[in-house]
A and B are shown apart, each in its own frame.
Chain A
Amino acid sequence: GAVVSQHPSRVICKSGTSVKIECRSLDFQATTMFWYRQFPKQSLMLMATSNEGSKATYEQGVEKDKFLINHASLTLSTLTVTSAHPEDSSFYICSASGGSRETQYFGPGTRLLVL
């Protein structure tokens, strides 16, 4: 199957700082990438959908100025959590689809802890 990577896998930061998470599709061109957030023992909640070269579409309740998403190329999307606070601590997961690939492929996730 296709491979989607995320970096970093784990990050700890101080409150008020910004954190960038990268999502890469390693062997296919991802025209669409999705960003999800997963709370402990909860399901994945869609945060936003990003299409290469255009602005991301955010779900209701997700602050676009706080969670900046950039999808500048067909293999890379980034999520930047700006001015992070402890309540932003969570597991962030990206998925990618594109080309002839109907299936979405998920990254391994990034665990963010804000102190």
Chain B
Amino acid sequence: GNSVTQMEGPVTLSEEAFLTINCTYTATGYPSLFWYVQYPGEGLQLLLKATKADDKGSNKGFEATYRKETTSFHLEKGSVQVSDSAVYFCALRRDSGNTPLVFGKGTRLSVIA
């Protein structure tokens, strides 16, 4: 079946540090890949996505590249801010927008000043 594995947190970084959150997936076919972010007390928001191999999704300084050969979609940011503190979820979707997402367990990031 389809599944997503992401690194366990929590992750604590100092402001301006480099961030990597690992995500690997198992799926048949060619899924679309997503990173969602959940800020404290809020719902999930789409951070970035990639729909085919070698695509790079980017938003707000975050990047992730769809690597089919390693079945990975690691999230990176060069310099984190306190406002980036949140829970980050990696997810995949097999087909169109009308199919459900499969989520990883989430990684809690805390950035300290």
Contact surface of A with B, Cβ cutoff 8 Å: 1, 4, 6, 31-32, 34, 41-44, 46, 49, 51, 93, 95, 97-98, 101-109
Contacts and interface: CB of A to CB of B under 8 A. Distances in A.
Nearest to B45: A106
A98 B100 contact: no
A22 B103 CA distance: 23
B106 interface: yes
A97 B98 contact: yes
Q: Is the interface of A mostly helix, strand, loop or mixed?
A: strand
B97 A93 contact: no
Contacts of B42: 108
A43 B44 contact: no
Interface residues of B, number: 19
Interface of B: 36, 42-46, 49, 89, 96-98, 100-106, 108
Contact of B98 (A32, A105, A106): A32
Contacts of B106: 41-43
A71 to B, nearest CB: 12
Nearest to A6: B43
Contacts of A93: 43-44
Nearest to A105: B46
Nearest to B32: A102
Contacts of B44: 44, 93, 95, 106
